[in-house]
Every structure is written in structure tokens, then in C-alpha cells.
């Protein structure tokens, strides 16, 4: 699969002294192999790389001069070879975070799945239950919406579907992680869930009610969306008024 | 040897306090969000520790800090102690001290707790008990350092009468650790600024170690390396940062984004192995009040030794049998909220009203993981000088362990006392003063 990932930040006034971190480089793992990676950034600036605590790749940079946008394009190819079997962070994926803390609405989903009785594959049934109950409505939630809030509202986007699923799995102490990535046919970045099962991380995409397999390319993973933020930055504006920024992401994945 | 109550130094109490004030020895506290700076009252009667007794403490403290350091590396690495069932995982990963950002880190020299402040008390039974381990940014070493310098000036004869280990080597020990872990480049001390409670200490240690005192805006990151902007505008590579900014505020792009006093990407430089941070971020996982319970187990697990120093008797309501004990003996216990530091969140059950007790027990049952309970250790008083003569007051000891190539215990320490005759809480944020700590050399 070839992918073209493009992220553009627009500021409504010039900013400077801009320190930023971008997490949008897919990494090699036992799940996927990445080849021919090309990175372009505008305005041109020297980038350096590092790894976060989960092994995700980071690109970092510093734009001193005044600018009103930051764009990064990442191109490459991915081969999906199986499932990730690196279990080094499994222990810490069992515990709810602020965004994946269960409340009554999440507990209700968990109860419904448990009562539906038979079936070995608990994560799959959680995925189906979340898919059944939720309505996909862009803009109905924000990046700080918790699993419980989204479950109560009954609507959200892929991030919320994933958070609810994580909250339910963690109620049952099943190690599971948030995944940020790209999906063939989806123009935006995407999010889904991996749950530990039989010594490997099995992917579940509750927004589409499918297993995350050949069409999903992993960019980063963590305890929740907070660990996978694509862009983080701090900067100063010459003017006194607060800066508004807009983030646009375009993803193209094709065979 | 002459009686300590008759030594010449006692006549210099006022002179000493004047001198300390002139040197700017103070600490700041926030009350109702307003910053107040106050003097830290000094009392001339020192805590005196005999040579043999100190040798014993030294071995125990080295052992404890070595085990704690190994624990931190293990938790952010292989997690063997959890896999082997010695420490329950929820105490680690659900605790506020654990930072996932630190997973897989490899601190220079394998050192996490470069400066440890271990709080102890001497019980009436003659035994020392550990009250608390402080592995984040323990403060206080500068007070006995400067007090000793001034004592020697105010009363030279006292130091001819007693054989006391010199404690003015603290700066050399500290600089030795900085040089040992440095990745090559200048050493700096990073301060949040003059409105920090311990600003006197930051500036004094910088002066004494020869490291540069810097604030966040003096440092910047480029190409995964840390640099310092000099007065002449030139940049200089930094190899080690003794940072006095807490983890949360250290780096807005890795911890709290609203921090204005930190350095963006400094933590990434550390992760890349290009700078040493003292102490290492994430140490809170080992000095959590709940983890304290497990330190003796850690010593046995990692070092295959029996712990030399004892914890104060402690109970974790998290365990059912401990909860039962806590409820049965509630009135005899001190209860601590594991999330609070600096003497806040410490409650004596015996001084609670009936309603407070009920509320507390309800909170305890709801979130048992949040609390620990300790028996009140009846610890020894030390006299202080007042206008009415000598009066006994509760005092603790903060011992400092410096860890570079190996763990070294500073032959002194900060002895804090409470001015309130009924109080057991000796913390500078809660009022009280300090004494010098003398370790006898023979």
C-alpha cells in the first residue's frame, strides 16, 4: 500500500519561536514494514527525530522566524505482515486514563456485552456493541471528550468509538491500546483499538466494525488519544490577541 | 568532652540568625496564592550523631537508595519486580508518580536518584525509622552547609572542642555526581526563578559548585542537543542539568503544555542520551507513600540483603487485613494521602472530630489505594534554646545521599524541629526551624 499523509496547520496571525513535535511517521514493527519514506516540511526547517515512551517516532523542530503555517507531508509504502507481538508495554495498558475512565454509560455497555452471553471473543463483541449504539457525527465531540461523555451522547467520531471500547475493555482489566493511523479509503487520519489476545495485539476498528488488518497502517499507539497527538507545539505571537490555529489532515492510501 | 548545653556557640544564636538573614537564607511559601518569604529560624543546639551510629545509618541509607534506584530502572525497563509479584502492578501504574513518558529511558550512568533526601526519626526506643524517601527534588542541604560556615566564624572555639566531620564538602560531592553523569558540556542548575520556595538554595549551590544558574529561557534544544545561551550571545553545549523544576513543568512538549518555565524538548534530548537530568524524571514512582511499604521487599529482592533500616510501622488499607487493622486501631494511627507532599494531607486520627472521622473512614473505604496508615512513632526530642531556657521539641533528620559512581551519604543532614510543643509535623512548609547536624569523627 502506498500512503500520502499531509498535515497542515494554519495560524490566523504570524507566530514565531515555534517549537513543535510531530507524531506522524509510521514505524516498522512485526505488524508492518515501511519503505521509501520521504518527508517534506514547509517552511523548510531542520528536523530531528526521537522515540516516545511507547516507541512511536517523533519529528521535532524549531521555527524561529515568523510564519503563518506549518505543513508536513509524509510519503511511503507499507506492507502489512501480521500482528504486533511486542508486549513490552502491555502491563500499563490495563489501567484507565482520564479519557478512558468508565462511568454509568460505559458500564452499561459492558454489562450488555457480558449479558449477551456466549462467545469467546470479548473484544470483538465490545466492538460490535459500540458500533451498534453509536452514531458517527463529525463535530459532535472534541479532542478532550471522554469515553463516558461520548457514550452518554451516543455519537462521536473514530476517537470516541476507540475510547469507549478501551474504557470497556479496561473495566475487565484487558490490556488494550489506542491506535492512530491511516485507513485505505478514508481521507482523514483514523483511530482504532488493539487488544491483547494470545500473545499479540489484535486490531479492532469499532467505527467500521471490522478487524484492523490489511487496510490499516499504524502510525502511533498509546493509552489514549493524548499519547498519539499528531501535532504539539508552543509558539509566541507578535500581537497581543490569542492565536487561533486550524489543523487539516489529508490522507491518501491506495493499493 | 564538654556538655553541649554549655558550649560557646549557644551565645551566638542571635548573631547566627542575623548572619543567615544577611546571606538571604530564607524560604518562600504560598499562602492564599500570595508569595511570602520568611526566614528559616536557626537553633544553635545541633543534632549530634556519634561515629558508630552514623556508620550504621550510612550503610542503611546506601542500601536503601541503591535498591530504590534499581527499582526505578526496573519499572521503566523490564518490570521484573512486578512480573515476579513482589510489588502489585496497580501501585505502580495507577499511581500519580508513574510517568509513561519515561518508559524505556536509559539515564546516563544508570543513575536515576542522584540526590535523595531520606527523612528519618530517632524513636524513643533508640531505633532510627525511615519516614519518607524524597527522590524528586529534595531540598535543604544548603541550610546546614551555610550554617556550619557561619558557626565556625561565630564561634571558632566550639570547633576545637568537638571533633566534627566537616560538612562543607557537599558542593564537591554534588559536582562530582554532575561530572560523573555528564554527557560532555557545561553543568547547569535550572531554577524556576526567585519566587520558588528554595531559590536561596539554587543560587547557593550554583555558587558553591561552579555550575551556571539558569532559568528556562536560557536553555534551548537544537538537533537533539541542549544548549545554553551565554551572556555574549554564544551558545554552549550542556552536559548535565541539575534541575529544580518539577517533572510536570520541565518540558511543555512532553509534560504539562501550559508550563512557561520549562524547556521545550529537553526531555527528548535526555531520552536520546545527550544530556543528564538530575534527578531523572519519573522518580515519583519510587517515593510514592504507597510504594514506601514495599521498599524493604525491594531491598531483599534486588540486593538479596536484609534491610538495615526499618520503616515506621505502616499499613496499606488496599490489603484487606491491613484495612481491618486500620479500622480497629483507627485512633492510634497517622493517615496520609499518598498524593500530597510537604506535610499536607497528614492527619492524626486522635485529633479528628467525630464527624471528621466518619468522613475520613468513608473516603478510606471508597478509595483504599489513596491512603496509607502509620503508627505514631514516638520520637525523641531535642532541646532548643528559647528566652525561657532549654525546651524539648520534636525533630527529624533529612539525610542526603548522593549517587554517582556509588551511593555516598553526606556526613551531615538537615535537622528540622517544630516550634509547636504539641506538633509532630516537622516540615519547613508548616513552620518550624532547623539545626545543624554534627557527625562526630571519633
Q: What is the DSSP string of B257-314?
A: TT-SSS-TTHHHHHHTTSSEEESPTTTHHHH-TTGGGGHHHHIIIII-S--SSEEPPE
SS3 assignment, position B159: helix
- pLDDT score at B442: 83
In 3D, which of B98, B255, B112, B86 has the Cα closest to residue A92? B98
- Together in a domain, A245 and A154: no
- What is the least distance, in Å, from the CA of B332 to any CA of chain A? 34
- pLDDT score at B91: 84
Is the peptide bond prior to B199 cis by the omega test (within 30 degrees of 0)? no
How far, in Å, CA of A52 to CA of B68, rounded?
A: 24
State phi, psi for B428 to the nearest 5 degrees: -60, -25
CATH number at residue A236: 2.60.40.2250
- pLDDT score at A242: 86
- pLDDT score at B375: 86
- Together in a domain, A106 and A198: yes
- What is the least distance, in Å, from the CA of B345 to any CA of chain A? 23
Q: Which three cell numbers stand for residue B270?
A: 535526555
**Domain coordinates of chain B in residue numbers?**
4-305+379-435, 313-375
Q: Give first-to-last CA distance, chain A, whole Å.
A: 4
- pLDDT score at B344: 65
- Together in a domain, A145 and A58: no
A154: alpha, beta or left, given left = phi > 0 and alpha = psi -120 to 50? Answer: left
Residues 6+ apart with CB under 8 A from B358: none
| Residues of chain A neighbouring B90 (CB-CB closer than 8 A) | 95
Q: Give every residue of chain A whose pLDDT is below 50, as ranges.
A: none
- pLDDT score at B429: 57
- pLDDT score at B395: 92
How far, in Å, CA of A131 to CA of B316, rounded?
A: 41
In 3D, which of B22, B5, B36 has the Cα closest to residue B431? B36
Q: Give first-to-last CA distance, chain B, whole Å.
A: 12
Residues 6+ apart with CB under 8 A from B175: B187, B209, B210, B211
- Together in a domain, A117 and A162: yes
How far, in Å, CA of A245 to CA of A68, rounded?
A: 9
Q: Which pLDDT tens digits describe chain B residue by residue (442 residues)?
A: 568 888 899 999 999 999 998 888 877 666 677 777 778 899 999 999 999 999 999 999 999 999 999 999 999 999 999 999 999 988 898 778 899 999 999 999 999 999 999 999 999 999 999 999 999 999 999 999 999 999 999 999 999 999 999 998 999 999 999 999 999 999 999 999 888 878 999 999 999 999 999 999 999 999 999 999 988 889 999 999 999 999 999 999 999 988 888 999 999 999 999 999 999 999 999 998 789 999 999 999 999 999 999 998 899 998 999 999 999 999 989 888 876 655 567 888 888 899 999 999 998 998 888 888 988 888 899 999 988 889 999 999 999 999 999 999 999 999 999 887 776 666 555 668 999 999 999 8
B250-261: buried (b, 16+ CB within 10 Å) or exposed (e) per residue? bbbbbbeeebeb
- Together in a domain, A239 and A222: no
Q: What is the DSSP string of B347-369?
A: EEGGG--HHHHHHHHHHHHH-GG
- What is the least distance, in Å, from the CA of A51 to any CA of chain B? 8
How far is CA B61 from each of CA A94, A109, B145, rounded to the nearest angstrom? Answer: 34, 51, 20
In 3D, which of A137, A149, A47, A57 has the Cα closest to residue A102? A149
pTM above 0.90, yes or no: yes
The residue among B92, B253, B254 with the most chain A CBs within 10 A of its CB, best to mutate, is: B253
Task: Tell me if B414 sits within 8 A of B141, measured CB to CB.
Answer: yes
Quick check: B223 contacting A, CB < 8 Å?
Answer: yes
- Together in a domain, A243 and A138: no
Task: Tell me if A27 sits within 8 A of A50, measured CB to CB.
Answer: no
Quick check: A108 contacting B, CB < 8 Å?
Answer: no
The residue among A59, A95, A96 with the most chain B CBs within 10 A of its CB, best to mutate, is: A95
Quick check: B252 contacting A, CB < 8 Å?
Answer: yes
| Residues of chain A neighbouring B224 (CB-CB closer than 8 A) | 48-50, 60
B383-413: buried (b, 16+ CB within 10 Å) or exposed (e) per residue? bbeeeeeeeebbbbbbbbbbbbeebbbbbbb
How far, in Å, CA of A60 to CA of B266, rounded?
A: 11
Under 8 Å CB pairs connecting chains A and B tally to 67
- What is the least distance, in Å, from the CA of B435 to any CA of chain A? 43
In 3D, which of A100, A94, A23 has the Cα closest to residue B98? A94
In 3D, which of B220, B257, B246 has the Cα closest to residue A234? B257
Cβ–Cβ below 8 Å for A51 and B104: yes
CATH topology of domain B313-375: Dna Ligase; domain 1 (3.30.1490)
Start-end of H helices in B155-219: 158-161, 170-181, 199-209
- Together in a domain, A136 and A194: yes
CATH number at residue A125: 3.10.620.30
Least CB-CB distance to A48: which of B90, B99, B224?
A: B224
State phi, psi for A28 to the nearest 5 degrees: -70, 145
Cβ–Cβ below 8 Å for A19 and B265: yes
- pLDDT score at B232: 84
Count of domains observed in chain A: 2
How far, in Å, CA of B208 to CA of A166, rounded?
A: 52
- Together in a domain, A97 and A55: no
- pLDDT score at B164: 94
SS3 assignment, position B224: coil
SS3 assignment, position A123: helix
- What is the least distance, in Å, from the CA of A19 to any CA of chain B? 7
- Together in a domain, A49 and A124: no
- Structural domain including A11 reads 2-82+230-254
Q: Which three cell numbers stand for residue B252?
A: 511543555
Task: Tell me if B274 sits within 8 A of B223, measured CB to CB.
Answer: no
Amino acid at each position: 500500500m502506498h500512503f500520502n499523509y499531509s498535515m497542515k496547520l494554519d495560524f490566523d496571525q504570524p507566530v514565531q519561536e515555534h517549537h513543535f513535535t510531530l507524531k506522524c511517521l509510521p514505524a516498522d514493527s512485526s505488524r508492518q514494514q515501511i519503505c521509501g519514506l520521504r518527508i517534506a516540511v514547509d517552511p523548510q526547517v531542520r528536523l530531528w527525530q526521537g522515540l516516545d515512551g511507547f516507541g512511536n517516532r517523533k519529528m521535532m523542530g524549531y521555527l524561529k522566524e515568523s510564519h503563518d503555517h506549518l505543513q508536513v507531508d509524509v510519503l511511503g509504502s507499507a506492507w502489512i505482515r501480521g500482528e504486533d507481538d511486542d508486549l513490552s508495554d502491555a502491563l500499563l495498558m490495563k489501567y484507565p486514563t482520564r479519557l478512558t475512565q468508565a462511568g454509568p454509560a460505559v458500564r452499561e455497555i459492558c454489562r450488555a456485552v457480558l449479558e449477551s452471553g456466549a462467545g469467546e471473543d470479548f473484544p470483538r463483541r465490545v466492538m460490535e456493541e459500540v458500533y451498534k449504539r453509536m452514531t458517527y457525527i463529525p463535530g459532535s465531540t472534541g479532542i478532550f471528550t471522554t469515553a463516558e461523555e461520548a457514550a452518554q451522547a451516543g455519537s462521536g467520531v473514530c476517537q470516541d468509538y476507540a475510547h469507549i471500547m478501551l474504557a470497556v475493555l479496561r473495566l475487565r482489566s484487558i490490556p488494550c491500546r489506542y491506535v492512530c493511523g491511516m485507513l485505505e479509503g478514508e481521507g482523514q487520519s483514523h483511530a482504532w483499538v488493539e487488544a491483547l489476545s494470545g500473545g499479540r495485539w489484535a486490531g479492532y476498528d469499532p467505527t467500521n466494525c471490522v478487524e484492523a488488518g490489511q487496510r490499516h497502517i499504524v502510525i502511533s499507539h498509546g493509552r489514549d488519544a493524548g499519547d498519539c497527538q499528531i501535532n504539539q507545539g508552543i509558539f509566541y505571537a507578535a500581537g497581543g490577541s490569542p492565536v487561533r490555529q486550524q489543523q487539516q489532515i489529508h490522507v491518501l492510501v491506495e493499493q | 568532652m564538654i556538655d553541649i548545653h554549655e558550649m560557646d556557640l549557644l551565645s551566638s544564636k542571635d548573631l547566627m540568625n542575623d548572619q543567615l538573614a544577611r546571606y538571604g537564607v530564607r524560604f518562600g511559601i504560598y499562602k492564599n496564592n500570595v508569595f511570602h518569604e520568611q526566614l528559616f529560624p536557626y537553633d544553635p543546639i545541633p543534632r549530634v550523631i556519634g561515629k558508630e551510629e552514623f556508620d550504621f545509618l550510612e550503610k542503611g541509607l546506601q542500601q536503601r537508595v541503591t535498591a530504590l534506584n534499581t527499582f526505578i530502572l526496573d519499572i521503566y525497563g523490564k518490570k521484573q519486580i512486578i512480573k515476579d509479584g513482589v510489588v502489585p502492578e496497580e501501585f505502580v501504574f495507577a499511581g500519580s508518580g508513574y510517568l509513561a513518558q519515561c518508559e524505556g529511558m536509559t539515564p546516563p550512568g544508570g543513575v536515576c536518584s542522584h540526590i535523595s533526601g531520606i527523612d528519618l526519626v530517632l524513636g524513643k526506643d533508640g531505633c532510627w525509622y525511615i519516614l519518607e524517601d524524597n527522590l524528586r527534588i529534595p531540598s535543604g542541604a544548603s541550610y546546614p552547609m551555610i550554617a556550619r560556615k557561619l558557626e565556625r566564624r561565630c564561634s571558632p572555639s566550639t570547633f576545637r572542642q568537638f571533633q566534627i566531620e566537616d560538612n562543607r564538602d557537599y558542593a564537591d560531592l554534588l559536582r562530582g555526581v554532575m561530572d560523573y553523569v555528564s554527557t560532555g558540556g557545561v553543568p547547569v542548575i535550572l531554577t524556576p526563578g526567585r519566587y520558588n520556595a528554595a531559590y536561596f538554595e539554587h543560587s547557593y549551590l550554583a555558587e558553591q559548585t561552579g555550575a551556571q544558574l539558569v532559568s528556562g529561557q536560557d536553555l534551548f534544544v537544537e538537533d537533539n542537543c541542549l544548549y545554553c545561551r551565554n551572556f555574549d550571545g554564544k551558545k554552549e553545549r550542556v552536559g548535565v542539568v541539575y534541575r529544580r523544576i518539577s517533572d510536570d513543568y520541565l518540558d511543555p512538549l512532553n509534560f504539562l503544555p501550559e508550563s512557561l518555565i520549562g524547556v521545550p524538548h529537553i526531555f527528548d534530548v535526555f531520552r536520546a542520551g545527550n544530556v543528564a537530568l538530575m534527578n531523572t524524571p519519573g522518580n515519583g514512582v519510587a517515593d510514592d507513600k504507597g510504594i514506601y511499604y514495599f521498599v524493604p521487599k525491594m531491598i531483599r529482592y534486588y540486593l538479596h540483603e536484609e534491610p538495615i533500616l526499618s520503616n515506621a510501622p505502616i499499613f496499606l488499607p488496599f490489603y484487606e487485613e491491613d484495612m481491618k487493622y486500620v479500622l480497629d486501631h483507627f485512633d492510634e494511627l497517622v493517615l496520609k494521602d499518598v498524593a500530597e507532599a510537604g506535610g499536607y494531607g497528614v492527619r492524626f486520627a486522635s485529633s479528628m472530630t467525630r464527624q471528621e472521622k466518619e468522613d475520613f473512614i468513608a473516603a478510606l473505604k471508597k478509595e483504599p489505594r489513596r491512603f496509607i496508615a502509620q503508627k505514631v512513632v514516638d520520637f525523641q526530642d531535642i532541646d532548643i534554646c528559647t528566652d525561657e531556657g532549654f525546651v524539648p521539641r520534636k525533630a527529624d533528620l533529612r539525610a542526603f545521599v548522593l549517587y554517582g559512581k556509588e551511593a555516598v551519604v553526606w556526613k551531615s543532614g538537615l535537622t528540622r524541629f517544630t516550634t509547636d510543643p504539641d506538633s509532630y509535623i516537622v516540615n519547613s512548609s508548616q513552620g518550624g526551624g532547623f539545626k545543624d547536624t554534627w557527625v562526630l569523627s571519633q
